[in-house]
Structure 1
Amino acid sequence: MGNSAAVGLNFELVELRQVSFRAYAEKWVEERELAPLTQDLYLYLIDKHLFAFADLDLDEITAPRVREWRAERLRLTGAKTITAKAYRLLKAIMETAVDDELITRNPCRIKGAGKKKAAERRIATVDQVDALANAVGMRWRLMVYLGAYGPLRPEELAGLWRRDVDLDNLRLRVRLAEPERMNGRRVLGDTKSEAGTRTVILPAFLRRELRWHLESYAEPGPDGLLFVGEKGAPFRRSTFGRKWRKAREAVGMPEGFRFYDLRHTGHTLSTRSGATLKDTMVRAGQSSEKAALIYQHSDEERQEEVAAGLDATVRKAREEAARKTAETPSGTNLARGQ
């Protein structure tokens, strides 16, 4: 959001008082190269959370008004995270207005207002991942496993084709992403970042799941989608979301546990199985300017070791669960004193 390049609006001949925040903000979003979901988010924030400034001229947005707006949003909604996002967007837009010489100083000067410490993400146990995969149904169980043990993002799963799957060597080639926008339309495009384009080596216990899915549910042909709905339509977030919520309830997982939290589960298990932070970043396709200073190359051989370690961790957890189940006396045997 911090890009302060001029938006190129023809405000030179317009009085400051005639430049409304809404017109400027929408143009600000329009003239940036944003991912579709990011563009949707910014327009949503402008419409639903920055509406208090919509009809104001840019020079009417003062520091006291920004403080009052933030305090009111927090008081009425208690939504600290979304309020912080809205504040960051407002600050970025107004910073560009300063560069465009439409205002003399950015009115967003509240220290720490754009920061929100993320809550500790929930993780699932191996048993819970298995239970979720069973509860969501045969067509979608592989999606649960790839979300946890890939770990792949939902939009990456939606963009997988048959030719991206190497069953013999247990590899998935992540090349594309198909996020679903707020209007329900899917957008075929690049992965979230350059690091998102990657080869994921899967743990060996997923071979049977992957083969079964390819034989039973994936579209035919090299360009056939890996995940399609019951009626042959491409994966839809809304449709899968309903199935996910039912599966989560059936398993007894907390309401706040999202499909995306499976990625955190995968990170945690990989680390426990011996992967370094560098390895997990490569595996999950994450990158940032800060991460670029920390995470170096993780070669394919090391990724095979990570996958093997993950395989051993899951197998051990399953065997332990099965052993405990076998050792638990049945109600009949207890009644008999056995």
Structure 2
Amino acid sequence: MTAKEYRLLRAVMTTAVDDDKMLSRNPYRVRGADNEHTPERPVLTVAQVFQLAELLGRRPVGNVRKLGSGGFRLRYREADGEMCVCPVIYPTRAAAGEALWHLATEDQVHIEHDRRFRALVLLATFASLRWGEAIVLRRSDIGLKARTVRVREQLVELDGGQMVLGPPKSRAGKRVVSVPAVIMPALRAHLDAFVEDRPDAVVFLGAGGGFLRASNFRREANWD
């Protein structure tokens, strides 16, 4: 942002010097001030991608209640199925939520696991699919024997919430992509468990059976 502002002000001053003759020289002459230094986005390792795919959809069973006297109390289901009230009173709801997750990592809380998103993460990552391409794939687009995925449509969510189905933006967007053998077991398991046995069945659906919206995905997958 600073570099962009510097370039704009230098251009204004250049006009004042060269065109309007209002100044004798341009005061904006700091060497390198117009250069932008954007850090590269971090890239997950293969192991981290599989770990992320496995964690998505995991949710500890519990709730946080605000006390009339102040503070928040945590109630959760233990790993053996019994409900338990934590004796600690937490100052904020966020602190109680963090405590719930901490107990879950120590296997003290029962975990519900929605596994609908594991194959989505793996396929989108290793087949380099955009969100709008992945969520509209049909069963017939998945080649289990050939280990391929065919991209021929995309779904765009407009600002008003309307979902528009159409072809990819360019001809190059329509393509057949090879799928690594390492994710094929997860993809087969997903098709068997969550996808209807008909060619036009959508592979990745929301909980209500409709197209998967990004906001619904973040909520249902417990993306945080």
Q: Structure 2 length as normaliser, TM-score?
A: 0.56
Q: Note closer, same or farther for the CA distance 1:168–1:122 as it changes in structure 2 (3 Å cut).
A: same
Q: How many residues are treated as equivalent by the alignment?
A: 139
Amino acid in structure 2 at the alignment position of 1:232 = G
Find out whether 1:127 has 2:104 as its counterpart.
no
Counterparts in 2 of 1:61-210, with a 5 A limit?
119-137=39-57, 138-210=115-187
Structure exhibiting the larger radius of gyration computed from Cα positions: 2
Letter in structure 1 aligned against 2:150: R
* Structure 2 counterparts to residues 267-282 of structure 1, below 5 A: none
- Report how far residue 192 of structure 1 moved: 2.8
* Identity value in percent: 36
Change (3 A) 1:194 1:214: same
Amino acid at match of 1:139: R
Distance 1:235 1:117, change over 3 A: farther
Q: Deviations over 1:276-334 (max 9, x none)?
A: xxxxxxxxxxxxxxxxxxxxxxxxxxxxxxxxxxxxxxxxxxxxxxxxxxxxxxxxxxx
Equivalent-residue separation in structure 2 for 1:118 and 1:183 (angstroms): 32
User: Which protein has the bigger helix share?
Assistant: 1
Q: Match of 1:238?
A: 215
How far 1:151 sits from its partner (Å)? 1.0
Deviations 1:131-164 (A, max 9, x none): 1101113101111101210110000002211111
| Richer in strand (by share) | 2
Counterpart CA distance in 1 for 2:169 and 2:39 is 23
2:136–2:211 CA contact under 8 A, matched in 1? no
Q: Output aligned runs, 1:186-335, within 5 Å.
A: 186-243=163-220, 246-247=222-223, 249=224
Q: Could you tell me which amino acid in structure 2 is paired with residue 129 of structure 1?
A: V
Partner of 1:29: none
Change (3 A) 1:192 1:220: same
TM-score, normalised to structure 1, is 0.38
Closer, same or farther: CA 232–129 of 1 in aligned 2, 3 Å: same
User: Structure 1 CA distance, aligned partners of 2:121 and 2:38?
Assistant: 24
Q: Please list every run of 5 or more consecutive structure 1 residues that lacks an aligned counterpart in the other structure.
A: 1-73, 88-114, 250-338
- Which consecutive segments of 4 or more residues in structure 1 shift more than 6 A? none
**Aligned counterparts of 2:36 and 2:151: Cα–Cα separation in 1:** 31
Whole-angstrom distance in 1 between the partners of 2:132 and 2:138 = 13
Q: What is the deviation of 1:118?
A: 5.1
Q: Note the alpha carbon deviations across 1:162-182, whole angstroms, 9 max, x for none.
A: 111111111110001012112
1:182 partner SS: coil
